Amino acid sequence: MKNKKRIGKKAFVSMRAMFLIFNLVVAVVAFSYMIGVVSGTDPIPTTTATTIPRGISSEPEGEEFTTGGDPTNLDDDTSPDHSLDDKDPEEDEGGGLGGGEDVPGGPDTTPGGGTGSLGWKAMIMKGGIGASIFGTIGALAGGDNGALYGSIAGGIGGAVAGIVETMSGSETAGIFVGLTVATIIFLMTYSKKSQQIVEFYCLPWQAPIGGENCQVCNEFEHCSEYMCKSLGQACDIIDAGTPEQKCIWLNPHDVNSPLISLVEVSKEHVFKPDNNIRPPATGVVINKKNGECIRAFFPLEFTIITNEPSQCKIDYNLIAGTKENPRAGFDNMEFYLGGDGLYKYNHTEKLSLPGPDAINSAAPELKNDGDYTLFIRCQDANGNFNQDAYSVSFCVEKGPDTTPPLIVNTNIQSGNPVQFNQTNLDLEVYVNEPAKCKWSGEDRDYDAMESEMSCSVNVWEMNNENVYTCKVKLTGIKDREENKYYFKCKDQPWAEEGDRNENKQSYVYSVIGTQPLNILEIGPDATIKGATDSIPVYLRINTDNGYKDGEALCYYYNDEDNEEPVREEDYVLFHETKSNEHTQRQDLVAGDYVYYFKCLDLGGNAVYDSTSFKVETDRTSPLIVRVYREDGLKIITNEKAECSYSNQDCNFEIESGIEMRSDDKEVHTGEWVLNRNYYIRCKDEYDNQVNPNVCSIIVRPSLSIIEENIDEDEWDFSF
């Protein structure tokens, strides 16, 4: 197969070369022809004819006169001495020199007379010449279909040249206009693509080094710590919290650079001072514990510390400062250590370097032997940095890669749910080295897996986590069950098939199918009363089904017009949620309310609902609407209340009085003793009650006999 591809490529190159040669030959011949036409005599002279009214002679005396045609090719019966008056009248009106069809210079070839057969021939001829010339230019210039669009531009320009030449009679003008049109069209249609890798880094903003501007903060009425430190890395607040609080430049005379020490490296690896560096304290060498080189594509991690908060950079090249720019040694280093530019004590770097075989396969011009040295410099808040770079050296395995690729992570964790009725999932799979990956719904060998992933297969396509991305769309997800998928990869896409390593054990990934999410209960849905201007109202929702029996996040929305939300982001998250019971307190004034709810589970299942309720403010104490005897003294209140009494006076607290029994909080019962005063006080469930030393009612039972109803006892109450 590889030989066939090579043969096909060679044939394509040969055909392209032959096409260029052919176009060049045609273009040279055409260009030579046009140059000859412009600078010499026309091969077929263009003639004109003039029609002169009969009886009028325009022949100057003593001179020869001809009115058309080639003066060297006259008819036998025509001589230079002939005048128009000697012609046959029929000859004048028919095909003579008066402009008949057979005379050269008639309607088809007269300048300004249109595009006859000769005009079409000129358009075709010059269109072909233009297509050849500009097709060659386009092919030589390259670009996207350069030869095709060059030929089109040249053909149109040549056709325009033919039209202009026919209309104006000037071949020079035609060539000029045609070249202009062809050039404009070619420039408008020509495009050439180039590929360049660009890396973007989003880093936090950092205040300028030093502290020259610290005093500016003190010019404001209130100089906060944030304002102070934003003016310079070395700015800080003194006498905080006092009237003398100031922003100053700490340690302005500090000229010492940070001290760097490597303190930690990945497991199964060790580091020791680099004796090739003088002094050895400025560099280390990292190896495996057995002294061997680091495995290719291993995520090597190491940590350095500094003796003061520092910003550190790292580079593969040792960059030196110059006399013109002493800071170039730090400023021109390419990467921030750990991927951020923060000033801190600890900095951790994570690497995943390919082996020399991988680098040389991807870029043969790189002569890489597997030995690496990284150079580190750190600067403090005053801009002091170590001129002698701290070095970290190590080697990467030089032998052939014999280990299969490793799937280290996915952008969506395995075991996560998906929305009900969702049948596919877009997923990113992260591999520790460039590889080709496949997936299947069954655990199969790599070659037997039917679905391929789209993977980053170039060494330089590593992401910021030092891994390579494979993109895949998983299909066939079933609801209400766990769906398992199996991934396998084969490394070194650039290598011969026999040199590649593939996974023998599958990476198992699962997706949980779900069911619709439901709201079982929602509230409040009735009138809420209170005794204050602002009344606490508790929104509540119970959810079920979906994922994990209704475990979800719930949101609410309400505006002054009780309208539905326009945007999803208008909903506000419940304070107590992330379960199947959700509550939210709202302090509301009296009025009518409509609240809208949205609940969303981890799988993306959403359910919407609403509730309406009324809020009323009750600021009045309960009233006693009836008093009578029935198995004792009974009173009825106009609302739910608590009542008690005293036989002394009204100056008592309801809680300290004699309690009146009640089952429904509206009918209250007490003892019955004739001719005894009952001083009764009541309060409702909102603690509304009469003023101190005031009774809700005073009752004094007495007995009277009414003669008309002698058989009935009638009781008289004194209030």
> Among 139-153, 154-168, 688-702, where is mean pLDDT lowest?
139-153
So what's the pLDDT on residue 213? 92
Q: Is residue 4 part of a domain?
A: no
Q: Is residue 69 part of a domain?
A: no
Q: How confident is the model at residue 101 (pLDDT cuts 50, 70, 90)?
A: very low
Residue 499 pLDDT exceeds 70: yes
Q: Is residue 383 part of a domain?
A: yes
Q: What's the CATH code of the domain at 545? A: 2.60.40.10
Task: Select from 246, 718, 273, 195 the least CA-distant residue to 458.
Answer: 195
Percent pLDDT > 90 in the chain is 51
Task: Based on the fold, state whether residues 145 and 21 are members of the same structural domain.
Answer: yes
Q: Is residue 23 part of a domain?
A: yes
Give the type of residue at 586: Q
Report which DSSP code applies to 392. E
CA-CA distances (angstroms) from residue 307 to 11, 171, 256, 380, 575? 66, 84, 11, 10, 44
Q: What is the pLDDT averaged over residues 168-193?
A: 72
Give the H or E element holding residue 238: strand 235-238
Distance CA 609, CA 554 (A): 11
Strands 468-475 and 424-431: antiparallel
Task: Based on the fold, state whether residues 451 and 583 are members of the same structural domain.
Answer: no
- At which residue do the structure tokens 């929702």 appear? 541
Task: Based on the fold, state whether residues 468 and 332 are members of the same structural domain.
Answer: no
Q: What is the pLDDT averaged over residues 590-597?
A: 97
So what's the pLDDT on residue 278? 72
Q: What's the CATH code of the domain at 499? A: 2.60.40
Instruction: Please state the φ and ψ torsions of residue 118, each to the nearest 5 degrees.
Output: -70, -35
Give the type of residue at 190: Y
The per-type count for the chain, helices as H runs and strands as E runs, is: 8, 35
Distance CA 82, CA 366 (A): 90
- The three-class DSSP label of residue 609 is strand
So what's the pLDDT on residue 224? 92
Q: Helices 146-168 and 171-189 sit at what angle, rounded to 10 degrees?
A: 150
- The three-class DSSP label of residue 679 is strand
Residue 274 pLDDT exceeds 60: yes
| Residue 244 backbone class (left: φ over 0; alpha: ψ -120 to 50; beta: rest) | alpha
So what's the pLDDT on residue 368? 55
Residue 400 pLDDT exceeds 90: no
What is the chain's alpha carbon radius of gyration, rounded to the nearest angstrom? 50
So what's the pLDDT on residue 119? 67
So what's the pLDDT on residue 425? 97
Beta-strand runs (E) in 495-590? 507-512, 517-523, 527-530, 535-545, 553-557, 572-573, 581-588
So what's the pLDDT on residue 363? 56
Q: Across all residues in the chain, what is the average pLDDT? A: 80
Question: How many residues comprise the chain?
Answer: 719
Q: What is the pLDDT averaged over residues 254-269?
A: 93
Instruction: Please state the φ and ψ torsions of residue 267, each to the nearest 5 degrees.
Output: -60, 150
Alpha-carbon torsion 698, 703, 706, 712, what sign? positive
Residue 441 pLDDT exceeds 70: yes
Structure tokens at 235: 């700015």
Q: Is residue 169 part of a domain?
A: yes
* Residues 297-349: tens digit of each pLDDT: 888 999 999 999 999 999 989 998 888 899 999 999 989 998 888 899 999 99
Considering 456, 489, 512, which residue would you say is the last residue of a domain? 512
Contacts of 275 by beta carbon, 8 Å cutoff, 6+ apart: none
Give the type of residue at 606: A
Strands 371-379 and 299-315: antiparallel
Q: How confident is the model at residue 240 (pLDDT cuts 50, 70, 90)?
A: confident
Give the type of residue at 696: S
Task: Based on the fold, state whether residues 704 and 604 are members of the same structural domain.
Answer: no
Task: Based on the fold, state whether residues 415 and 497 are members of the same structural domain.
Answer: yes
Q: What is the pLDDT averaged over residues 559-572?
A: 95
Task: Based on the fold, state whether residues 281 and 369 are members of the same structural domain.
Answer: yes
Distance CA 625, CA 634 (A): 11
Partners of 430 in the beta sheet? 409, 469
Contacts of 14 by beta carbon, 8 Å cutoff, 6+ apart: none
| Residue 236 backbone class (left: φ over 0; alpha: ψ -120 to 50; beta: rest) | beta
**Residue 578: Cβ within 10 Å count:** 12
- At which residue do the structure tokens 């199964």 appear? 268
Residue 173 pLDDT exceeds 90: no
Percent pLDDT > 70 in the chain is 76
Q: Is residue 594 part of a domain?
A: yes
Considering 374, 395, 416, which residue would you say is the last residue of a domain? 395
- The three-class DSSP label of residue 14 is helix
Task: Based on the fold, state whether residues 309 and 336 are members of the same structural domain.
Answer: yes
**Residue 203: Cβ within 10 Å count:** 10
Helix, strand, coil % (nearest 5) of the chain? Answer: 20, 30, 45
Which one has a higher pLDDT value, 355 or 624?
Answer: 624
Residue 190 pLDDT exceeds 80: no
So what's the pLDDT on residue 311? 93
CA-CA distances (angstroms) from residue 216 to 174, 223, 253? 72, 9, 20
So what's the pLDDT on residue 351? 85
Q: How confident is the model at residue 646 (pLDDT cuts 50, 70, 90)?
A: very high
Q: Does the bond joining 692 to the residue before it have cis omega, within 30 degrees of 0? A: no
- Residue-number span of the structural domain to which 596 is assigned: 517-617
Ordered strands of the 581-588 beta sheet = 517-523, 535-545, 581-588
Q: Does the bond joining 208 to the residue before it have cis omega, within 30 degrees of 0? A: no
So what's the pLDDT on residue 73? 43
Task: Based on the fold, state whether residues 495 and 544 are members of the same structural domain.
Answer: no
Q: Helices 171-189 and 117-141 sit at what angle, rounded to 10 degrees?
A: 40
Task: Select from 246, 250, 188, 174 the least CA-distant residue to 217.
Answer: 246
* Residues 678-704: tens digit of each pLDDT: 999 999 988 899 999 999 999 998 875
- The three-class DSSP label of residue 400 is coil
Task: Based on the fold, state whether residues 279 and 218 are members of the same structural domain.
Answer: no
Determine contact, residues 419/514, Cβ cutoff 8 Å. Answer: yes
Which segments of 634-704 does DSSP mark as H helices, in order? none
So what's the pLDDT on residue 482? 97
Report which DSSP code applies to 161. H
Q: Is residue 576 part of a domain?
A: yes
So what's the pLDDT on residue 660? 95
**Residue 262: Cβ within 10 Å count:** 18
CA-CA distances (angstroms) from residue 130 to 28, 141, 392, 677? 11, 16, 63, 126
**Residue 447: Cβ within 10 Å count:** 9
pTM score over 0.75: no
Determine contact, residues 687/622, Cβ cutoff 8 Å. Answer: no
Task: Based on the fold, state whether residues 266 and 387 are members of the same structural domain.
Answer: yes
Residue 65 pLDDT exceeds 60: no
Partners of 184 in the beta sheet? none
So what's the pLDDT on residue 102? 42
Task: Based on the fold, state whether residues 456 and 584 are members of the same structural domain.
Answer: no
Q: How confident is the model at residue 636 (pLDDT cuts 50, 70, 90)?
A: very high
Considering 395, 416, 432, which residue would you say is the last residue of a domain? 395
Strands 299-315 and 407-410: unpaired
Q: How confident is the model at residue 7 (pLDDT cuts 50, 70, 90)?
A: very low
Give the type of residue at 390: Y
| Total domains in the fold of the chain | 6
Task: Based on the fold, state whether residues 295 and 332 are members of the same structural domain.
Answer: yes
Ordered strands of the 424-431 beta sheet = 407-410, 424-431, 468-475, 454-455
For 688, counting Cβ atoms within 10 Å of its Cβ (0-12 exposed, 13-18 middle, 19+ buried), the class is middle
Give the type of residue at 185: I
Q: Is residue 62 part of a domain?
A: no
Partners of 699 in the beta sheet? 678
